Amino acid sequence: MRAKDTNSRHDKIFDVIIRSYIETAEPVGSRTISKQADLSLSPASIRNVMADLEEQGLLAQPHTSAGRIPTDKGYRYWVDRLMEPEELTEEEKEWVRGELAKSRSIEGLADKISKVVSELTNSAAVIYIKRLKRVSFLNHLLEELIAAHTINEFLEEDSELFVEGMFRILEQPEFRDFDRMRSLLQAFDEKLNLIAILSRDLEEEGVHVHIGSENLKGHLENVSLVAKDCYIGETPFGGVAAVGPTRMKYPKVVAVVSFVADSVSDVVERF
């Protein structure tokens, strides 16, 4: 069999494993794959492919007799190579726009952003905003800013972090483990690592996906963050992020974070 065909077969099986584990949080065995994948392979052949994927570091076997689960490296491979993008429905888009349009202040905007991101992704929502020197910054934006680049005159080094929907993460089976739960709560309480990650993301445009052990060492090694910057003109003033288990539904979460962040930029431009 040619290498291309082998890679295609491996990717198809791996895709089934990822999607199954995201939905069930249960290790995936060869029988599950044979039922879901459109492949004419015996369970033994599927197990051989799974062994190859494990050797590549994309899968792990939590117990000798159990199926496989994705590793952080596996999620990274899937997000970068195999994940199919998802689009929000028109109803979801209209709801997001309607909620954000109700905002009249930074705090109000952050509250609305948190609400829509948390509800649409079933994750915790994190809103990062560079601290503003003036509380009424948005209300006076058009009057006091001549060019978009002068926004930097209104931003301080310290930043604000708004968090919503923590209970959504704690409801996930991964965090029934007390140590994991405590570590996660500590990460949100201290906030420094979250701010460091989101601040770094401001240096580059686009959606950023941080998976498990890729995060800064601390208390975020069991979660993934999907973040995108918000802009006034060409200047980033903050970011929108969803935080959940590494088993999160990346296609949906990426779609939500991307649309909400772009919508926030549009709303701020109209203030």
**In total, how many domains does the chain have?**
2
Q: Are residues 101 and 56 in the same domain?
A: no
Q: Which of 62, 82, 102 is the last residue of a domain?
A: 82
Q: Are residues 69 and 9 in the same domain?
A: yes
| Domain ranges, residue 33 | 3-82
Which CATH number covers residue 223?
Answer: 3.30.450.40
Give dist(CA 29, CA 16) in Å, integer. Answer: 11
Tell me the pTM: 0.85
- The 8 Å CB, 24+ separation contacts for 150-158 are 151/232, 151/233, 151/235, 151/237, 152/235, 155/130, 155/131, 155/237, 156/130, 156/131, 156/132, 157/131, 158/131
Q: Nearest to residue 159, comparing CAs of 116, 189, 198?
A: 198
Contact (CB, 8 A) for 225 and 152: no
Q: How many CB atoms lie within 10 A of CB 11?
A: 15
Which CATH number covers residue 53?
Answer: 1.10.10.10
Three-class DSSP category at 46 = helix
For 146-200, what is each residue's pLDDT tens digit?
Answer: 344 444 444 444 567 888 888 888 888 888 888 888 888 888 887 878 888 888 8
Q: Are residues 95 and 64 in the same domain?
A: no
Give dist(CA 37, CA 15) in Å, integer. Answer: 9
Give dist(CA 14, CA 59) in Å, integer. Answer: 9
Q: Are residues 215 and 101 in the same domain?
A: yes
Q: Are residues 94 and 66 in the same domain?
A: no
For 68-121, what is each residue's pLDDT tens digit?
Answer: 999 999 999 999 999 998 999 999 999 999 999 888 777 788 889 999 999 999
